[in-house]
Amino acid sequence: MIQAAIFDMDGLLVDSEPHWREIEIEVFRTVGLEMDDEMCKRTTGLPTDAVVRYWHERHPWHNRSLDEVAQEIIDRVHERIQTQAQPMPGVPAILDLFQQQGIPMAIASASPMQLIEAVIDRLQIRSYFTIWHSATLEKRNKPHPDVYLGTASKLGVEPRVCVAFEDSGNGLKSAHAAGMLTVSVPADYEFNDPKFEMATLKVPSLTEFTLAQLRELENQLSIASAIR
């Protein structure tokens, strides 16, 4: 019944959030903004340009352009990921699960394509995916649904028969707005945040997602289709 599984990337497939936070702290220091982990967590799931705009609105600086700051963050994270990034728990076991079920897989990320490419090569998971798509190539980034709708279109399937995996609230909004079944995988520090309640299913880790849960998602899809 489910015709595609679509995965977010940062914080879901790859343990990249600590790298993003470390680099953001270092780069924002160059414009006089002293950050910490808790401040960085406020913008988890937002595209880099939106993160830079968020902090510029609250702590304006004048010595560097917003584009320059955003590009330095992306470039330095790219370099870090190529040499240090590790998979999140449950990868590639969950990819094996969907591959064994014959369900095509894709990546729908808010990150630029160069970062997506860096991650799939670093984790050696390129062969699992039919396509990977960046929201930077769409008119609007997450939390808008564009990247998920675009990914489904590239796969040649309807969004309603896709299941999307997301770790952030903004990413979950994106997939939900696209009309997909959703599995949220929040970080420990925000697992009980109400923003994740819109998900079809919530799990603490990809390691907790099972074949039985996949069958339950298909059952929910079947019921929804019958109602239609």
* DSSP string for 53-67: HHHHHHS---SS-HH
| Distant-in-sequence, close-in-space partners of 195: CB < 8 Å, separation ≥ 6 | 169, 172
For residue 10, indicate whether it is catalytic: yes
Q: How far apart are CA 94 and CA 154, in angstroms?
A: 22
Closest CA to 10 of 72, 75, 77, 68: 77
* Helices within the chain (DSSP H only): 17-29, 37-41, 48-58, 66-84, 93-100, 113-122, 146-155, 169-177, 211-227
In contact, 4 and 104? CB cutoff 8 Å: yes
Among 8, 15, 49, 146, the one annotated catalytic: 8
Q: How far is the C-alpha of 148 from the C-alpha of 108, rounded, in Å?
A: 6
Per the CB < 8 A criterion, the answer to whether 81 and 118 are in contact is yes
Q: Is 193 a catalytic residue?
A: no
**Residue positions annotated with a catalytic role:** 8, 10
